[in-house]
Structure 1
């Protein structure tokens, strides 16, 4: 029998839309890892098991802040209505290196919101309007700043 207390749960200390959230729930991160990994999400209740995501996902794919989701009893998610937001994650790829301050200053001026998971990992979201500028910045400065990035969901 599996010991649920050994599961790993990633949390959001400062969710981007904390003022809109009225519920905290967990979603299973689809991995082959043992023990199971979960992301604790902040949301706005729409109806039973249906929420508007109020944080920027650190580890879940195909999900952005503002999306309407249904969470199953098994804690799997289904996006039922997409927002206009895209989740982008940036990290150094090295545990001993912090994110470049000059680079992060530029990122924060363009993005619509950001959440820091650690000194090495930041999740941010951009709307359709700001997406081209953010992608241009990431493409031109990522190597100089010593960072890697991923678009957790490419919508545009």
Structure 2
């Protein structure tokens, strides 16, 4: 089993445990993503990181867990946020392009997390437009140097459940 982990979740201080998402429902059999979570005062569970691989989930979404509390199995309510993900191909200028993306994320005042040195997940709050980031991603994709997507292009689905 391959674990996708969040080394520096954007809301680490808010989180108090992790649960996993089985990524086989998204075409990645044998992989799970560990999400940082927080139990709210009302008992509901909120995501405290920006998902790298799981679809249909975003920072601050409220989710439900399996009976044993180890797996995310459903979405209770959406936060209104979106996740823009960019994966750079292993090319000579990948570091330069990643620096350009991170610089633009910073300029826009957004949050992001890195998975390795070529994959970034960017939190896009409700009502915020990011044409400058999409322009960078589309330019790199057109040159076959990157792939980008919105994480909500596919709804969340827990493997082995009816969520």
Scaled by the length of structure 1, what TM-score is found?
Answer: 0.79
Aligned partner (choices 95, 99, 104) of residue 98 of structure 1: 95
Structure 2 unaligned spans of 5+: 154-163
Which residue pairs with 1:116 in the alignment? Answer: 114
Alignment size in residue pairs: 144
- Give the C-alpha shift of residue 24 in structure 1: 1.4
In structure 1, distance between residues paired with 2:91 and 2:100: 19
Which residue pairs with 1:65 in the alignment? Answer: 59
In structure 1, distance between residues paired with 2:80 and 2:133: 20
Structure 1 unaligned spans of 5+: 1-6
Name segments (4+ residues, structure 1) moved above 6 Å. none
1:22 matched to 2:22? The reply is: no
In structure 1, distance between residues paired with 2:84 and 2:109: 10
- Cα 1:10/1:139, change in 2 over 3 Å: closer
> Which has the higher mean CA deviation after the structures are superposed, 71-80 or 7-16?
71-80
In structure 2, distance between residues paired with 1:149 and 1:39: 19
RMSD: 2.5
- Give the C-alpha shift of residue 76 in structure 1: 4.6
Scaled by the length of structure 2, what TM-score is found?
Answer: 0.76
**Which one scores higher on RCO, CA 8 angstroms, separation ≥ 6?**
2
In structure 2, distance between residues paired with 1:112 and 1:141: 16
Partner SS, residue 9 of structure 1: strand
- Cα 1:53/1:33, change in 2 over 3 Å: closer
- Cα 1:129/1:143, change in 2 over 3 Å: closer
In structure 2, distance between residues paired with 1:82 and 1:32: 23
- Give the C-alpha shift of residue 111 in structure 1: 5.0
